[in-house]
Structure 1
Amino acid sequence: MNFLFAWRYFKSKKSTNAINIIAWVSVVAVVVGTASLIVVLSVFNGFEGLVKSLYATFYTDLKVTPAHGKLIRLNEKQLKTIGGMDGVRAWSLVMEEKALLQNGEAQTIVYLKGVDSSYTNVTTVADEVKAGEFNLGTEDKPASVLGVGIENALGLWSDRELLPLTAYLPRRGASLNVSDPMASLSAENLYTSGSFAIQQDFDNKYVLTNLAFLKRILNLAPDEYGGLEIALQENADEEAVKDQIARLLGAEYKVLTRYEQNQGLYSIMQLEKWVIYGVLSLILVVAAFTMIGSLTMLVLEKQKDIQVLKAMGASNGRIQSIFITEGFLLAGIGAIAGTLLALLICWAQVKYKLVMLQGGSFVIDYYPVKFLARDFLLVLGTVILVAFLAAWFPARKAAGERVELKS
């Protein structure tokens, strides 16, 4: 019943054209606001998914690290137990240390990461090698795969270099000698076999080599490592596996999910998304003001109808509901049209790459798009809330009209 009255009021001819104009302006504002929110959130989702996929190349599903200090101790029995847990697909032992790499006169600080032979089973870094091959050498003749940023900083071609680099790492337990700082460092030759390109954070920071070499130069015990990286099966319960490993190893170890390994990054991305949502919601706030004006003028236009309905027994609640429904109708038409417009724009972007990324240095050359159902629900909920608040005040005014029928 409320919708029938609201629809009749919407399509009926008004005595003043301004009422129709303002009504359609409010609808257009909702269309623009809805389309903007969906398009921008979808593009943001595309970038977010892309960044997460790049980080997933380097970071594993779970990682065991020390609760304090830099080293963990894991024996064969513990490793075998972890490998046999439900949901665990593969694991790899790693060690990471800051190092100075030198190539002639060129030098740079890097994170030298030693990995074992199972590393390619837990990450896809080997698939991102752009030059040379993923070859980490042996303990006695170590090779390395460099990030392309480090390759550029050292001024070399990693797949063509005949002479080794010099890697300087801190001696374990050595104190700093102010008169001769180099005395507290170990120096080793490190050959290059290739370079990888994943994302700037990794490309300018990491050099991969074999774990045995790094353990030797750092003078680590056979059961000492920097961490244990774990890949899970596709449908594994991440939290259940995490809790099971934590119970096995105890409080001296931390078990981190991929999100927890990059908590700062993911938190910032979520914050950016909410800021974007808040800014674009201001368009719907503008739509709310035009809707208030439209409905207020409609209430003035329909004063006689309101009095007739009250004379026939309609309650104040019924009158108020009719005009709130009118607000929902205006917002609903705008929301549906805005959603269809957003879908059309995003489809065209994916198919024809209408808006390109400038610079040519990113992994893709156009703005990515990814639809999420929760974004549609969020936008729909926002439109409903704005429509209700905008319609509330004119509807209360309509409900407060006094019956003054004259003969």
Structure 2
Amino acid sequence: MNVSFYIAKRYLLSKKSHNAINVISGISVCGVALATLALICTLSVFNGFRDLVADFFTAFDPELKVSVASGKVFNPADQKIQSLCNLSEVAVFSEVLEETAMIQYKDRQTMVVIKGVEDNFEQLAPIDSILYGKGSTTLRDEVADYAIPGVDLVAMLNSGVRFLEPLIVYAPKRGSKVNLTNPSNSFITERLFSSGLVFAVNQAKYDASYILTSIEFARQLFQYDKEVSSISLRLKNGVDERQAKKKIQQLLGDEFIVQDRYEQQLDTFRIMEVEKLISYLFLTFILVIACFNVIGSLSMLIIDKKEDVITLRNLGADDKLITRIFLFEGRFITLFGAIIGLVLGLAFCYVQQTFGLLSLGGGSAEGFVVDAYPVSVHIGDVILVFITVLLVGFLSVWYPVRYLSKRLL
């Protein structure tokens, strides 16, 4: 067994001549453990919120979205696009046309995004989980075109879920200038009737500005023949999404962009990642401060073991061996603190995930989507925290131990 390792282990576990040293060592372990626990819990809560938001988007966004690299619309009759239908990985192929328009209900007006979809849009994502009301998902029949608006948009227009009067939709005529003498001639006007349903994604981006309707209505309103703004795809069960996305991108080339759900909401998830990174850096700084307790503990231990060091020198120990003893001592404190913090952090996350001890305040009654802080433990974060604690702890004691060993011994 390594001599310095063995002596350091004995120093850690044995009783010191001054009880204060044992107390300081215990405080050092607790400080590292608390910093580790805070890192695990904080990163897991950020993961929980990220997964929660991803679940909301999952019910509205397609698994894969194909859009043109330049411009707004493209012809779905393109040979490359049609070849997607024949891919073994694709289960559902659906055309989508999105454009901005203005809607009016009685005396209220606002700008919205008209999302025209095909009849198979229900097969793309579990949209039934975000639909509310009593009605049909049929968006077009022989009589009229129907709308499924966002819940916040309904509140903004004060129309109610089943509005009695139709929504008046205005869109500028393509390729024409606004006639200042008679502006109404520069717009196309259409009507959308109530389907008896609204959707609630719990994201203002959609709930306050989107209206689902038929793609035929969207083409008629925006004066397109067959053009679409995107193609929505759902993959077959068991198909690897990354591999399928890579294959589709290679098939379509640089003219088209293939996005998964996270890339479709890149801004939202990027903000969450930045917040998570800032929290990680802030808590790592707190960990560095906690490691000063380890340095203080080692300083007291070096002073306490002066006589032992003299004995070791008489037995032939050199300066490197003596320095390694106290380096191992500091690393033991960091390692034990990291292990204890990881165990407590994972236990706390499990309890929070199972019982929801820490609530968000008033829960759903106060407008929150969930009652308690969501938690999701990722193995990558656990490994990152463990490596961070060990790295910070080991580096923080390296120079002080070498310096104190020369000064005090």
Q: Same fold (TM over 0.5)?
A: yes
Q: Partner of 2:90 in structure 1?
A: 88
1:218 aligns with 2:225: no
Cα deviation, residue 34, structure 1: 1.1
Cα distance change, pair 401–252 in 1 and its aligned pair in 2 (3 A) = closer
TM superposition shift of 1:13: 2.6
Within the alignment, does 1:274 sit opposite 2:280 as a pair?
A: no
Q: Which amino acid aligns with 1:217?
A: L
Which of 319, 322, 325 aligns to 1:319? It is 322
The CA distance in 2 between the partners of 1:11 and 1:72, in whole Å, is: 72
Deviating above 6 A after TM superposition, structure 1's stretches of 4 or more consecutive aligned residues are none
Deviations 1:212-243 (A, max 9, x none): 11112222123x11111112234434444334
- Note the residue ranges of structure 1 that are not aligned, 5 or more in a row: none
2:315 counterpart of 1:309:
no
The separation in 2 between residues aligned to 1:40 and 1:260, in whole angstroms, is 24
SS at match of 1:96: strand
What TM-score, normalized by structure 2, do the two folds share? Answer: 0.91
- Cα distance in 1, alignment partners of residues 368 and 237 from structure 2: 29
In structure 2, the partner of 1:230 is 233
AA partner of residue 41 (structure 2): V
**Do residues 389 (structure 1) and 395 (structure 2) align?**
yes
Which of 198, 205, 210 is the aligned partner of 1:201? 205
1:157 shift after superposition:
2.0
Counterpart of 2:32?
30
What's 2:381 paired with? 375
Residue 340 of structure 1 corresponds to which residue in structure 2? 343
Q: 1:401 Cα deviation (Å)?
A: 7.7
1:294 is aligned, of 294, 297, 301, to: 297
Contact kept in structure 2, 1:29 and 1:286, CA below 8 Å: no
SS in 2 for 1:179: coil
SS of 2:97 mapped into structure 1:
strand
Range moving further from structure 2, 311-320 or 5-14: 311-320
Question: 136, 143, 148: which one pairs with 1:145?
Answer: 148
The offset of 1:43, in angstroms, is 1.0
Cα deviation, 1:130-165, whole Å, max 9, x if unaligned, reads 11332312376110101000110111222x323211
In 2, the alpha carbon distance for the partners of 1:139 and 1:170 equals 25
- Give a deviation string over 1:153-195, Cα, whole Å, max 9, x none: 111222x323211111122222122233322111111001110
Q: Is the Cα contact below 8 Å between 1:307 and 1:401 reproduced in 2?
A: no
Q: Say how many residue pairs are matched.
A: 401
| Separation (CA, whole Å) in 1 of partners of 2:247 and 2:154 | 41
Aligned to 1:363, the other structure's residue is in SS state coil
- Structure 2 counterpart of 1:202, one-letter code: Y
Answer with 276-285 or 11-20: which moved more.
11-20
- Identify the residue that residue 173 of structure 2 maps to in structure 1: 171
Instruction: State whether structure 2 residue 103 is matched by structure 1 residue 101.
Output: yes
Instruction: Give the drift of 1:76.
Output: 7.4
- Judged with a 3 Å threshold, the aligned counterparts in structure 2 of structure 1 residues 249 and 384 are, in CA distance, closer, same or farther, namely closer
- CA distance in structure 1 between the aligned counterparts of 2:246 and 2:142, rounded to whole angstroms: 35
Is the 8 Å Cα contact of residues 140 and 213 (structure 1) preserved in structure 2? no
Instruction: Output one character per residue of 1:24-70: Cα deviation in whole Å (capped at 9) or x when no partner.
Output: 22111112111111111111111111111212222223211122221
Q: CA RMSD in A?
A: 2.2
Could you tell me which runs of 5 or more consecutive residues in structure 2 were left unpaired when the two chains were aligned.
none
Find the aligned partners of 1:176 and 1:246 in 2 and give their Cα distance: 40
User: Match of 2:53?
Assistant: 51
Cα deviation, residue 80, structure 1: 4.3
Q: Against the structure 1 CA distance between its residues 259 and 348, is the aligned structure 2 distance closer, same or farther, given a 3 Å change threshold?
A: closer
Post-superposition shift, 1:79?
4.6
Q: Give me the whole-angstrom Cα distance separating, in 2, the residues matched to 1:266 and 1:189.
A: 36
Whole-angstrom distance in 2 between the partners of 1:340 and 1:378: 15
Is the partner of 2:373 in helix, strand or coil? coil
